[in-house]
């Protein structure tokens, strides 16, 4: 990979140790002749990543998600350093980043491209989601009634607490908690998972990546609320459909050369393949 000459830092200073970690990494970058800029604002302001070669995000997955849209627009890789909890996206730990950071700056990293979803209504600009687009009633206590179409073909009417439209990357996030499938990040698919559906046979549906999905409110007097990666909230008035499709651009993520997706999944989800009891009792 190309060596990094200009590096932006995005630091979530609310995370314990994040600012100190950023200071140490900035010192290493400067010692390697790298020009740096930094911000603690997120979501990252438009233009904040212009004219840099990469962006180092220090925080949790939420911080990483808040930078994804701007990094995709600029097509620069994100280097995620975990100072949160699970850290599926921030694949470098605070411990191993120091032994690898100089190598990363020299271009010794692998690039992994992740698909995103774009959602659009006639009332709001296009928004990008690295994880998911969640549709719920704008009043939390109300049940959602929506009609879903795939390439103009009617799928079904959902009566549920909400719908989660997820990328493969987002399959380890909210949709996993709602009973959705784990999907390899390189799979070219879009998943739809209902939240607490009133019909027990309503389960996740996997669509091809070129699908165009449309969500129409079956009860227009009860407005919908759309959350994009947990940040952007769009209120949709009566008669305004939501369209969801895979975005044309993908997000480049810088990962260690020996990165293993399943190693991350095993570690984060605490898979061990063992038995709960003593093997002698089996």
**Residue 235 reports pLDDT greater than 80:** no
φ, ψ for residue 75, nearest 5 deg: 55, 50
**Residue 280 reports pLDDT greater than 50:** no
Q: How confident is the model at residue 11 (pLDDT cuts 50, 70, 90)?
A: very high
On whether the 117-246 domain is CATH 2.60.200.30, my answer is yes
Closest alpha carbon to 135 in 67, 211, 218? 218
| Model confidence pLDDT, tens digit, residues 28-52 | 999 999 999 989 887 888 899 999 9
- Close Cβ partners of 65 (under 8 Å, ≥ 6 residues apart): 89, 130, 131, 229, 230, 231
- Sort residue 107 into left (φ over 0), alpha (ψ -120 to 50) or beta: left
- Give the integer Cα–Cα distance in Å for 220 and 226: 15
φ, ψ for residue 262, nearest 5 deg: -75, -25
Average pLDDT over residues 67-86: 92
Q: How confident is the model at residue 233 (pLDDT cuts 50, 70, 90)?
A: confident
Average pLDDT over residues 141-163: 95
Considering the chain, what percentage of its residues have pLDDT values greater than 90?
Answer: 68
- Give the integer Cα–Cα distance in Å for 217 and 126: 19
For residue 256 the two structure tokens come to 């260690």
**Residue 279 reports pLDDT greater than 60:** no
**Residue 276 reports pLDDT greater than 60:** no
**Residue 236 reports pLDDT greater than 90:** no
Q: Start-end ranges of CATH 2.60.200.30 in the chain?
A: 117-246
**Residue 19 reports pLDDT greater than 60:** yes
**Residue 114 reports pLDDT greater than 90:** yes
Least confident of 103-117, 152-166, 171-185, 265-279: 265-279
Does the CA dihedral 98-104-106-109 come out positive or negative? positive
- The answer to whether 23 is a known catalytic residue is no
Find residue 173's DSSP bridge partners.
Answer: none
**Residue 210 reports pLDDT greater than 70:** yes
Domain 6-115+250-268, what fold? Answer: Rossmann fold (3.40.50)
Average pLDDT over residues 220-237: 81
Looking at 51, 53, 61, 151, which residue is catalytic?
Answer: 61
What DSSP letter does each residue of the chain carry, written as one string? -PPPSEEEEEE-TTSTTHHHHHHHHHHHHHHTT-EEEEE--SSPPTTTTTT-SEEEEEE-HHHHHHHHHHHHHHT--EEEEE-SSS-SS--EETTTHHHHHHHHHTT-SEEEEE--EEEEETTEEEEEESSEEEEEESSTTSPEEEEEEETTEEEEEEEESEEEEE-SGGGGTHHHHTTPPP--TT--EEEEEEES-SSTT---EEEETT-EEEEEESSTTS-EEEEETTTEEEEE-TT--EEEEE-SS-EEEEE-TT--HHHHHHHHTT-----SS-GGG-
- Give the integer Cα–Cα distance in Å for 129 and 226: 11
Average pLDDT over residues 192-208: 95
**Complete edge-to-edge strand list for the sheet that includes strand 224-228:** 205-208, 189-195, 162-166, 132-137, 224-228, 232-236
Average pLDDT, the chain: 90
Q: pTM to 2 decimals?
A: 0.92
Q: How confident is the model at residue 274 (pLDDT cuts 50, 70, 90)?
A: low
Distance from first CA to last CA of the chain, Å, rounded? 50
């Amino acid at each position: 990979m190309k060596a990094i000459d200009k590096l932006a830092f995005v630091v979530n200073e609310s995370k314990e140790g994040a600012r100190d970690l950023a200071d140490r990494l900035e010192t290493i970058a400067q010692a390697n002749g790298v020009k740096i800029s930094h911000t603690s604002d997120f979501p990252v302001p438009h233009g904040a990543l212009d004219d840099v070669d990469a962006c180092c995000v220090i925080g949790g997955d939420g911080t990483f998600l808040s930078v994804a849209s701007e990094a995709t627009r600029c097509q620069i890789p994100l280097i995620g350093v975990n100072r949160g909890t699970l850290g599926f996206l921030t694949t470098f730990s605070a411990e191993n980043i120091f032994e690898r950071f100089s190598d990363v700056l020299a271009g010794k990293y692998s690039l992994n491209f992740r698909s995103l979803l774009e959602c659009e209504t006639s009332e709001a600009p296009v928004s990008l989601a690295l994880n998911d687009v969640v549709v719920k009633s704008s009043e939390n206590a109300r049940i959602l009634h929506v009609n879903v179409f795939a390439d103009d073909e009617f799928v079904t009417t959902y009566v549920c607490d909400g719908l989660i439209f997820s990328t493969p990357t987002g399959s380890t996030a909210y949709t996993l908690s709602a009973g959705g499938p784990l999907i390899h990040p390189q799979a070219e698919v879009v998943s739809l998972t209902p939240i607490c559906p009133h019909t027990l046979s309503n389960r996740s549906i996997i669509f091809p990546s070129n699908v165009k999905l449309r969500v129409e409110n079956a009860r227009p007097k009860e407005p919908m609320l759309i959350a994009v990666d947990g940040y952007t909230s769009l209120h949709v008035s009566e008669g305004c459909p939501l369209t969801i499709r895979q975005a044309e651009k993908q997000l480049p993520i810088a990962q260690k050369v020996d990165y293993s997706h399943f190693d991350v999944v095993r570690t984060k989800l605490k898979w061990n393949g063992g038995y709960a009891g003593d093997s002698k009792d089996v």
